[in-house]
Structure 1
């Protein structure tokens, strides 16, 4: 009986000594010593954590007929471009580079107006006739100066020939030369005056053959091609200087128009000349593309907005000045490897997912979403180019998935 307790006493004594003299002894040593008297005991296997079962991919089973009935559209994902746009209001206005005013430069009376509002005119076409005493006097002065200059030129050439042969005196030759130069200056001055009053070089050259009865008649021509948008006088009206009306018509070429855009100061760093602009009107649904041609550096005092001018091609004249439009300014445009429409991404359990087409229907697949724009988003993980995904009515698949989870 005493022999059975001797090992236990020895173990307790050794344990006391180890605890006293070797307090930092490893637990394994202490266990070995203190457990020496308990007899052999097979150590039990340490409990292992239960392995989690792999999560099965969420699957919505649908046939082709069910997919078509639900209106689910599919599209193979691939490369795309991320575009950001700035939406601003605008107004269509005539291009300042293609606008002209047909005006008179002398006093007179309007005899005939050949164009009405909306009529088309060609560049250089006669649009009105004017009777002016000033024109008649200027034409007479020019013709007189021209005749005198031509006569003196003949005398000068004769005296020069005589002087070359030493038949006449040098003094006579020099007087003829001075007289001719003086008359030539007067002729040139009279011609410039007619040019200033609106006569073309061809009209001036034709004056010697023009009947005197038509000397007071002046033809008013359009400086550009376009359409008449304003008529300011009537036949018989006195026009010209001295507080009289000088403008007869306003003509505009609408083959190109401008769009005045109002951009807030906070968005101005995103706008620069040359950027692409898409203009739309809600009234007709028309859309056209243009580019920014000018940015006014001064803010409007009333609206505190900056004026940005975009130019649109308008060959069919569908864009009428005065129309209100909405413009999209292309701020950035970058290529991406995989891009999906915004309607393809659905949030499941707080994470973005897309529904990939598989043999039995659609599989919800988690994806990593990168940058996005107005229409889509970049997928940086979870999808490869070419995989078909649901891009329209994908919310139906999300609802079916939620319904199946509720039934389970």
Structure 2
């Protein structure tokens, strides 16, 4: 009789065991489902403590309105303007009595270059510098008789022309009046395009001419130089640093900071000048984004994604 009672108790308990096992399986399934949802929610994000981000050099900025300045990089040479070039001849034929200057010497306008005795009047007269500059050429010595040829050549060094070569692919962007930043010998000179001059038939470029003041007296005709021409200036509603934009899974993204999370936000980019980039869609003014070292965030997200895939 007791055996029958034991069997009855065991049989009655079986549904409870089955139900308990089912509840446990449902709990596991729910937990795994929640984990998958959490992983999916942050699939394109990573969590980094603030102290770690600072040590890594991650810099966060606020998206805001800004300027996009587009430039054209060009090269060229320095040239003496016609008004800074003077060939000095004797006014009257005669005997050269004295010569006061040598090649390479700086002279001021009005300085005496030579004294000549006129053949007609036998009176001495002074030959003076018509411009300030450097004596480039001297073709006379004391005791010689002058002729119609130039006795001195003076090159002015107060102003110069920067002749910038504008090739066909750049012509559409370049125009008279645009600002130019010229780099030469460690200095930056500011100017504007005064003329666009056609090149010779043998050259594939036109010349953008900029008048320069030789402030540091270090510019010499024939020197090579580089320059940036400001060809476009626009104000955009949302601007980020250009290095903030990364490519993730074939999409342009910016990493938005939300607390300790850095989330890959797909964006549509517009104009860029290499330093700043316009954001057309995907980011609003006031949002915090990774402005510097964003590649570290990208690497961390890719590493996390690889770990989840295993």
TM-score by length of 2: 0.78
Deviations 1:179-204 (A, max 9, x none): xxxxxxxxxxxxxxxxxxxxxxxxxx
Q: How many angstroms apart in 2 are the aligned matches of 1:237 and 1:359?
A: 89
Equivalent residue for 1:247, pick from 151, 160, 168: 151
Shift of 1:266: 4.2
Q: Corresponding residue for 2:259?
A: 359
Moved >6 Å (runs of 4+): none
State yes or no: 1:290 paired with 2:181.
no
SS in 2 for 1:239: coil
Q: How many angstroms apart in 2 are the aligned matches of 1:323 and 1:388?
A: 47
SS in 1 for 2:41: coil
Equivalent residue for 1:271, pick from 169, 174, 178: 174
If you compute each CA radius of gyration, which structure gives the higher value, 1 or 2? 1
Higher RCO (CA < 8 A, seq sep 6+): 1
Extract unaligned runs of 5+ from structure 1: 1-51, 137-214
Shift of 1:83: 2.3
Asked if 1 retains the 8 angstrom alpha-carbon contact of 2:95 and 2:119, the reply is no
Equivalent residue for 1:226, pick from 133, 154, 158: 133
State yes or no: 1:236 paired with 2:139.
no
Q: 1:7-406 maps to which residues of 2 (within 5 A)?
A: 56-57=41-42, 58-134=44-120, 136=121, 216-241=123-148, 245-252=149-156, 254-281=157-184, 284-297=185-198, 299-406=199-306
Shift of 1:124: 1.9
Over 3 Å counting, the alpha-carbon distance change for 1:251 and 1:110 in structure 2 is: farther
Deviations 1:124-150 (A, max 9, x none): 22222112213x2xxxxxxxxxxxxxx
Over 3 Å counting, the alpha-carbon distance change for 1:117 and 1:357 in structure 2 is: farther
Q: How many angstroms apart in 1 are the aligned matches of 2:50 and 2:151?
A: 72
Q: Corresponding residue for 2:12?
A: none
SS in 2 for 1:238: coil
Q: Corresponding residue for 1:190?
A: none
Which structure shows the bigger proportion of residues in strand conformation? 2
TM-score by length of 1: 0.60
Deviations 1:140-186 (A, max 9, x none): xxxxxxxxxxxxxxxxxxxxxxxxxxxxxxxxxxxxxxxxxxxxxxx
Over 3 Å counting, the alpha-carbon distance change for 1:94 and 1:64 in structure 2 is: farther
Q: How many angstroms apart in 2 are the aligned matches of 1:77 and 1:319?
A: 42
Shift of 1:74: 3.3
Asked if 2 retains the 8 angstrom alpha-carbon contact of 1:263 and 1:305, the reply is yes
